[in-house]
């Protein structure tokens, strides 16, 4: 999924954290809720401005970020 059209980052909005475009819903919030076991449906109910495509964009963005990281061995 091409997430760039659905997400934005502006230093004047939430200190530049990635958000769903046009909202103050952060990618981190969406990922946090999913990691706590919330379903897409529960998220959509709790955040009416959110769409299924927004949630998928958050997942695609996080995949892109993580796939560029290198594991540092202890």
40 falls within a domain: yes
Averaged over successive runs of 10 residues, the pLDDT of the chain (74 residues) comes to 93 95 97 98 97 98 91 70
74 falls within a domain: no
| pLDDT at site 74 | 67
Domain region containing 18: 7-67
Q: pTM for the complete prediction?
A: 0.89
Beta bridge partners of 19: 8, 26
Whether the CB-CB separation of 20 and 54 falls below 8 Å is answered with yes
| pLDDT at site 17 | 96
- CATH no. for residue 18? 1.10.10.10
């Amino acid at each position: 999924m091409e997430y760039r059209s659905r997400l934005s980052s502006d230093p004047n909005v939430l200190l530049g954290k990635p958000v769903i475009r046009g909202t103050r819903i952060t990618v981190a919030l969406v990922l946090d809720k999913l990691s706590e076991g919330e379903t897409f449906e529960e998220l959509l109910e709790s955040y009416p401005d959110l769409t299924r495509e927004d949630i998928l964009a958050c997942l695609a963005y996080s995949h892109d970020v993580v796939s560029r990281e290198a594991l540092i061995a202890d």
